Structure 1
Amino acid sequence: MNKLNHLLTELELLKKEGRYRPLTVWDSAADTWMELGCRRILQLSSNNYLGLTNHPDMKKAAIEAIEEYGVGSGSVRTITGTLRIHEVLEQELAAFKGTEAALVFQSGFTTNQGILGSMLGQEDIVISDELNHASIIDGIRLTKANRAIFAHKNLDQLEEHLKASGSYRSRVVVTDGVFSMDGDIAPLPEIVELAERYDAIVYVDDAHASGVLGRNGKGSADHFNLHGRVHIQVGTLSKAIGAVGGYMAGSQLLKDFLIHKARPFLFSTSQPPAVAATCLAAIRVLQSSSDRMERLWSNTEYFRGKVRSLGFDTGQSETPIIPIIVGTPEKTMQFSDRLLQEGIFAQGIVYPTVALDKGRVRLIITANHTIEDLDFALDRLELAGKQFGLL
């Protein structure tokens, strides 16, 4: 008897429910138009918000770092894996974010796991928005801390949890800066005010706000002018920054603690030097000009306005993440497949990532899209939307 038959059963159930999706294998670099087989496809699902994945400064930095340092670091950071390029990246990240220190992890996912999994104990409580990213949820699961969930952006519920948590050693309020499935922005000023009233720590995951919100992409704390009032900022180097990795921006005390306690940091080899150099180059590109962010937001406002005027349900989107709510998993994936036939890649997002009846194709606009690209997408969306009864 095959001891993995239960996995086959699970996969068959996914197929029956319309939630099974094989990997899409691309034949070209991440860009606005990509090669899929022999077809040219308009990419509307990439997190490459600023189009930096092919920026010449970043390519040059990667090549030079390989020549100087080789292709790998050789070890974890606490042994021989901390190279000068890692140190410089963290110094410039801290300056960019306006914090005392920064610490780089291998991904945004491991950043949340490393911080939450190490800093909280059974004497503490973490209070989390119900729509926070899976990495936050998993990070909380790794702790022995008590936990409370408040309905999405529901400040009254958040305050109720804060009122009831006075006996704990520390209280940590965790929220995404921009929510990845709906594209809405956390009410961070109000969250900070409540946290200060009840002496709580504010922890913000800016994965989808880095490079998107704030001056030159500094994130949600800068966007709301909350410098010094957000205790822990998590960012990604994998989306708008165009490479891969994640980081904590906060106090030197927290950095020193995480170096000794965060398991993903302690037990994973550090970023290849080429990646660290690429991320450093991206931070410098962001600070040199706001042109890319201006194009990003101009494209976003144009496209979202047109999609809504067609009659699509885009939920509470406020950012370049623009969901089109479709419904059931099966219908959502069929709609995504139909768009691919029309030359648009718009990945279907279904349960359990979103509610069972809230499947959507999640469109992401970038600075590199042209108005012609967006109009092409709008024409195909209107055609498919009418066929699926969404308009």
Structure 2
Amino acid sequence: MAKINHNNYLDTIDELIVDAQKRGVVHLFTDGEELTGRELNINGRDLLNFGTCGYLGLEMEESIKEGAIDFTRRYGTQFSVSRTYVTSGFNVELETLLRKMYGHPVIVSPSTSTSHIAVIPTIVRDNAAIILDQQVHMSVQTACQLVKPRGIPVEMIRHSNMEMLERKLIEWQGRYDKIWYMIDGVYSMYGDIAPLDDILRLMAKYDALHVYVDDAHGMSWYGKNGAGYVFDKIGVPKKMVLVTTLAKGFGVTGGITVFPTEEMYEKVRVFGGPLTYSHPLAPPLLGAAIASANIHLSDKIYTYQAELKERIDYCNKLFEVQDLPVISNPDTPIYFIGMGHPRVGYNMVKRLLDDGFYLNIGLFPAVPVKNTGVRFTLTRHQQLKDIKALVNCIAYHFPKALAEEGLDDEKVFKAFKINTAMLLHSSNGHATKVFAPLPVPAPVKDFGYTIQHENSINNIDKNTWDKLLACEGSFTWDALHLLEIAFSGHEKIEDNWDFHYYIIRDNANKPVLATFLTVGVYKDDLLSQAAISMQIEDKRKDEPYYLTSKTIGMGSLLTEGKHLFIDRNKTDWKEIFSLLIDQLLVLQEQTGAENIILRDFEEADEEIRDFLLGEGFVKIAMPHANLIDNLEWNTTEEFLATLSQNSRKNIRREVLKFEDKFTVQIKESITQEEAELYYEMYLNVKSRNFSINYFPYPKKLFAQFQHFPDWEYVFLYLKPENKTTKENLPVAIAASYEGENHYCPMILGMDYDYAYDFKAYKQILYQIVKRAKELGKSKIYMGFSADLEKRKLG
């Protein structure tokens, strides 16, 4: 199986966080000798604090602090004994108080994350399945990975999408005893609330559906005894487990799990992973938590809730008169103002920090890149004048940050799919602000440049196109004309590609940017590890379009080379590139595509990297293109001298040793019969190669090959004495594009009956290199995948 280097997801996240750190908006440090709750001292400046989740301000409550101090003095700083051996009596006292709050059995753990790790692997039995909401907290997602080695399927659906959930329930009902849907009650970024009524309806309809809820952000500020948003709305039904927190609104640290039955409670108490071997809550935290639980069981909690509600209502009224994209639910103390592009978010947060406000940036991977925003929270610590100052400051800086980054609010609204929309709404259905429908712009001129957008290469001058891009890959005017024919008129949606060509010209009518893109159905695991794709393909046998998305991709899934021409000598080339991206966003809106993929940029090009990050794109390492550009040799020995010692040994042992077993034919065109054979041999390769996972090319493409100019075909035959059959059929075929100075082998077909004994795959790669040298080419685009074998050739 061909192997490639895959992108590391953590590297992508690291790059974004490092970028945000450079801009001074994350990884900050507090100064000062004390905290007040209302202010944070950062870099020697006192900032109004709108960035923490202590919604009721209980972390500064005197009785809670005294509880921690009292327990520290009496019991020390830790109780270092596993709960399997001895449980602190004060731990039992705290759980008894929490049981009074919920009326259900409760287990306390050192953190909410620990709760998930203890509970999920215990309650999810072997004949079960897990469905993750796309926005469920990362700590839940991490804990769910622990059950996958037991063969338990873990799949994700789009955020709060009940239609997708029900489709999955219909599919899995009867196959699994329990299907666990993992959600948050109040989501931490957008402050939106899970559709609890819809979930209850599905729980009643499908016996197998069970729900696991993390309501950490709904805790304390809402409901009777501050038991949280979810519990107040629906309690803890028999088929639900509720996890919440002693942190955030509760004012301490730790996790709470509320069980529907004593039986489930006992199983987790006895067998719950870290509950059996890790430390319990330390005495200072127990003292503080007991004090906070007593507040929750008193009328005092309602006074505190009312004070926070006053601040929420006041903030909502302030936003009613502002034309700002407030994305969050106004019933919660979490606010999210859409910024769209990360660079606008960075700009905005920096401006607010400079004006004396600390808040957060909502950034990938917590939210999609194009849905970056400014996130802030309300607490009892803030005064009404603080809230007014912040809202006014956001309203003042929002248009300035957009203008400074070359964007406008219309693009932000589109990023969050806001057209005729209620930007600020409440659960009673009352809209406080309604925006008119946004027209889809289709600019022809901008910044003095003219944009030409065509749906067919036939509408573009052949000489102009080939002059700009023919020398960069396998996409001449003629080749694209035939590709348009090959990828149209099919029954299967994946076999039809829509082509889009863009040329941007300056005032002198000189092209300064040119590219083409295709719109088609991509597999979401296009660049996943092969083992993952193989598992997904099993699923696709019954559901062909499982985990697929309509995608706009620069170039196509067939062509290779540099698909973008841009005149980097222009001082405003970034503005020119932005014009293209604006066009692609319009195209995305028109086609309903979920993703835009831009490709073929040099890894070391930091200027392009920074530009695209600012435009809302995430850098993903693509597979190696395996370019061979050292063809300054004339003999086999000279060729070998260009290779490493290990590669020379390998080529001699596995390529040159068998070269005399083969004959090679170069054909300028192929017959219909040869095209059909080629297609079957291509499918042999495709069915074995999951390193880049895409839908197989349609058979019509191979029928078109005989019409492709500038293409030739390398046929590799075994000599008759080396074959077990008398048929004179090739054992390998490669279609190659012949450019002016470059050579691109594009599609490989193999007969695997002879692939191993005579190393036919390595042989045809070698013959391709020899052919490029024979033609006098200066470089070869060897294509993606099989990196190890291709690198041995230079």
TM, length-normalised to structure 1: 0.91
Q: CA deviation at 1:234?
A: 0.3
Q: CA deviation at 1:37?
A: 4.1
Report the CA distance shift for 1:160/1:334 in structure 2 as closer, same or farther (over 3 A): same
Other-structure match for 1:172? 180
Answer yes or no: is 1:102 the counterpart of 2:106: yes
Q: Say whether the 8 Å CA contact 2:318–2:388 is kept in structure 1.
A: no
Choose from 384, 400, 403 the match for 1:371: 384
Deviations 1:9-57 (A, max 9, x none): 8798336754663232242325022223432210001100001011011
Give the 3-state SS of the residue equivalent to 1:41 in structure 2. Answer: strand
Measure the CA separation in 1 of the matches of 2:356 and 2:278.
39
Q: Say whether the 8 Å CA contact 1:178–1:207 is kept in structure 2.
A: yes
Aligned amino acid, residue 213 of structure 1: Y
Measure the CA separation in 2 of the matches of 1:185 and 1:274.
33
Other-structure match for 1:287? 297
Q: CA deviation at 1:89?
A: 0.6
Alignment of 1:154-233 (within 5 A): 154-166=161-173, 167-199=175-207, 200-229=209-238, 231-233=240-242
* Worse overlay, 378-387 or 291-300: 378-387
Choose from 93, 112, 129 the match for 1:88: 93
Choose from 344, 348, 357 the match for 1:335: 348
Answer yes or no: is 1:130 the counterpart of 2:138: no
Q: Percent identity?
A: 24
Alignment of 1:221-300 (within 5 A): 221-229=230-238, 231-250=240-259, 251-288=261-298, 289=300, 290-300=302-312
Measure the CA separation in 2 of the matches of 1:17 and 1:244.
31
Choose from 284, 304, 315 the match for 1:303: 315
Measure the CA separation in 1 of the matches of 2:387 and 2:328.
20
Q: CA deviation at 1:325?
A: 1.3
Answer yes or no: is 1:58 the counterpart of 2:60: no
Measure the CA separation in 2 of the matches of 1:12 and 1:61.
40
Other-structure match for 2:118? 114
Deviations 1:137-180 (A, max 9, x none): 11111113222333222222222222222221222222111011
Q: Say whether the 8 Å CA contact 1:203–1:232 is kept in structure 2.
A: yes
Report the CA distance shift for 1:281/1:91 in structure 2 as closer, same or farther (over 3 A): same
Measure the CA separation in 1 of the matches of 2:12 and 2:131.
32
Report the CA distance shift for 1:333/1:262 in structure 2 as closer, same or farther (over 3 A): farther
Aligned amino acid, residue 292 of structure 1: Y
Q: Say whether the 8 Å CA contact 1:93–1:102 is kept in structure 2.
A: yes
Report the CA distance shift for 1:10/1:209 in structure 2 as closer, same or farther (over 3 A): closer
Give the 3-state SS of the residue equivalent to 1:322 in structure 2. Answer: strand
Answer yes or no: is 1:347 the counterpart of 2:360: yes
Measure the CA separation in 2 of the matches of 1:50 and 1:83.
28
* Worse overlay, 315-324 or 144-153: 144-153
Deviations 1:185-238 (A, max 9, x none): 111122122112212222211100111232232123433244545621101111
RMSD of Structure 2 on Structure 1 (CA)? 2.4
Q: Say whether the 8 Å CA contact 1:189–1:224 is kept in structure 2.
A: no
Deviations 1:98-156 (A, max 9, x none): 21x11111111221222113322441011222111111111111113222333222222
Measure the CA separation in 1 of the matches of 2:381 and 2:310.
11
Measure the CA separation in 2 of the matches of 1:12 and 1:211.
34
Q: Say whether the 8 Å CA contact 2:79–2:279 is kept in structure 1.
A: yes
Deviations 1:342-372 (A, max 9, x none): 0000111211111011111211011232211
Aligned amino acid, residue 324 of structure 2: F
Deviations 1:266-315 (A, max 9, x none): 33211111101211211211222201111112211221332353222121
Gaps of 5+ in 2: 1-7, 403-407, 410-794
Q: Say whether the 8 Å CA contact 1:237–1:246 is kept in structure 2.
A: yes
Give the 3-state SS of the residue equivalent to 2:48 in structure 1. Answer: strand
* Worse overlay, 353-362 or 227-236: 227-236
Measure the CA separation in 1 of the matches of 2:292 and 2:12.
41
Q: Say whether the 8 Å CA contact 1:210–1:219 is kept in structure 2.
A: yes
Alignment of 1:15-94 (within 5 A): 17-18=19-20, 21-27=26-32, 28-29=34-35, 31-80=37-86, 82-94=87-99
Report the CA distance shift for 1:29/1:252 in structure 2 as closer, same or farther (over 3 A): farther
Q: Say whether the 8 Å CA contact 2:115–2:255 is kept in structure 1.
A: yes
Report the CA distance shift for 1:12/1:243 in structure 2 as closer, same or farther (over 3 A): closer
Which has the larger Rg?
Answer: 2
Measure the CA separation in 1 of the matches of 2:17 and 2:101.
45
Deviations 1:309-350 (A, max 9, x none): 322212142311001111222331232121111000011121
Aligned amino acid, residue 65 of structure 1: F
Other-structure match for 2:16? 14
Q: Say whether the 8 Å CA contact 1:17–1:329 is kept in structure 2.
A: no
Q: Say whether the 8 Å CA contact 2:110–2:254 is kept in structure 1.
A: yes
Measure the CA separation in 2 of the matches of 1:230 and 1:220.
18
Aligned amino acid, residue 102 of structure 1: V
Q: Say whether the 8 Å CA contact 1:30–1:53 is kept in structure 2.
A: no
Q: Say whether the 8 Å CA contact 2:336–2:375 is kept in structure 1.
A: yes
* Worse overlay, 26-35 or 134-143: 26-35
Report the CA distance shift for 1:350/1:42 in structure 2 as closer, same or farther (over 3 A): same
Give the 3-state SS of the residue equivalent to 2:64 in structure 1. Answer: helix
Aligned amino acid, residue 315 of structure 1: I
Give the 3-state SS of the residue equivalent to 1:72 in structure 2. Answer: coil
Deviations 1:241-285 (A, max 9, x none): 111111101132222212333223233211111101211211211
Relative contact order, CA 8 A, sep 6+: which one is greater? 1
Q: Say whether the 8 Å CA contact 2:186–2:192 is kept in structure 1.
A: yes
Gaps of 5+ in 1: 1-5
Give the 3-state SS of the residue equivalent to 1:224 in structure 2. Answer: helix
Q: Say whether the 8 Å CA contact 2:68–2:284 is kept in structure 1.
A: yes
Q: Say whether the 8 Å CA contact 2:335–2:376 is kept in structure 1.
A: yes
Aligned amino acid, residue 258 of structure 1: V
Report the CA distance shift for 1:12/1:110 in structure 2 as closer, same or farther (over 3 A): closer
Report the CA distance shift for 1:303/1:73 in structure 2 as closer, same or farther (over 3 A): same
Measure the CA separation in 2 of the matches of 1:36 and 1:55.
23
Report the CA distance shift for 1:230/1:59 in structure 2 as closer, same or farther (over 3 A): farther
Report the CA distance shift for 1:121/1:146 in structure 2 as closer, same or farther (over 3 A): farther
Measure the CA separation in 1 of the matches of 2:293 and 2:17.
42
Q: CA deviation at 1:91?
A: 1.2
Answer yes or no: is 1:152 the counterpart of 2:159: yes
Measure the CA separation in 2 of the matches of 1:282 and 1:12.
37
Other-structure match for 1:3? none
Other-structure match for 2:466? none
